[in-house]
Structure 1
Amino acid sequence: MPPIEQRTPTEQHQKLGSDNITAERVYLPRITIKYCTQCKWMLRSAYFAQELLSTFNTDLGEVALIPSTGGVFTVTMYHASDETLTTSETVLWDRKTNGGFPAEVKQLKALVRNIVDPSRSLGHTDRALRAANVPTQTQTEAGSDGKRGSVSGVSQDMESATANVHGKEKERCEECQ
């Protein structure tokens, strides 16, 4: 009996022709959390990723953390489009557009649920969102011009986490100002 073949992540990339194009296996729906390393937002990003994976288990194909700079904190979902056989990109949360971070992970869970399985109940999370009177989201998918989709709703007046910590101005990285 031949041994079971296991490949390392670098071996999983396969060359396609002479163009040196690599093929990667992407599992949908895929959530990416792009965060600023200079602002020290890795722990916040990892917490959101952990909560999404704990709540949605195998309903999510993948959750990826993407380090960046420039005060970026963006949560994006890539999912199969209902209308065509393409992948749609939906920005669930953008710190600059939404005015900060999700006040609680419940908001992010509701946005993910609305795309992955709108009929799914989130139990106590749904009750808390109804009590807070948070509006539902509306989504637009990437059109033929290739522009990104967006999600509106769930934007409340929130302080930026970089603005004020215990009454003292928190230091910001150069890129974030």
Structure 2
Amino acid sequence: MKKKLRIRYCPQCHWLLRATYVAQELLTTFEKELGGICLEPSDTAGEFAILCEDDVLFDRKTNGGFEEIKIIKQLVRDYVCPEKPLGHSDK
């Protein structure tokens, strides 16, 4: 069964566009490996997190800020399909 991701974002910070961009990039890269991505507005101010089931793959607050999309792709790859090469994003 394919894994599904959730992106929780702060609507007060206007991070919906960032969440949709990240979702688009992940769905494009992992179109065969992912079962979908759900965008969830958060009640927690400043939250931006990517989760799979109950596992947090990325959290802006814990990480100290946003990461480049290639780092996020590596984190998702390592969790969902560690054998998948990411081409230039692996460098």
Q: Same fold (TM over 0.5)?
A: yes
- Aligned residue for 1:134? none
Q: Secondary structure of the equivalent of 2:30?
A: helix
Structure 1: runs of 5 or more not aligned: 1-26, 79-88, 128-177
Match of 1:39 in 2: 13
Partner of 1:62 in structure 2? 36
- SS in structure 1 of the partner of residue 31 of structure 2: helix
Q: Distance in 1 between matches of 2:24 and 2:65?
A: 20
- 2:55 alignment counterpart: 90
Length-normalised TM-score, structure 1: 0.49
Corresponding position of 1:72: 47
Alignment-derived partner of residue 51 in structure 1? 25
Pairs within 5 Å for 1:84-123? 89-102=54-67, 104-123=68-87
Alpha-carbon distance in structure 2 between the residues aligned to 1:126 and 1:58: 19
Report the residue type matching 1:56 in the other structure: F
Equivalent residue pairs, number: 90
- Give 1 or 2: higher helix fraction: 2
Output the CA distance in 2 between the equivalents of 1:106 and 1:46. 16
Work out the CA distance in 2 between the residues paired with 1:117 and 1:31. Answer: 13
Question: Using the alignment, how far apart are the partners of 2:13 and 2:78 within structure 1?
Answer: 30
1:29 aligns with 2:3: yes
CA offsets 1:124-173 (integer angstroms, 9 cap, x no match):
1002xxxxxxxxxxxxxxxxxxxxxxxxxxxxxxxxxxxxxxxxxxxxxx
The Cα shift of 1:120 comes to 1.2
**SS of match in other structure, 1:58:** coil
Distance 2:7 2:15 in 1: 10
How many Å apart are 1:28 and its aligned residue? 3.6
Q: Please list every run of at least 4 consecutive aligned residues from structure 1 whose deviation after the TM superposition is greater than 4 angstroms.
A: none
> 1:34 is matched by which residue type in structure 2?
R
Between the aligned residues of both structures, percent identity stands at 50
Larger radius of gyration: 1
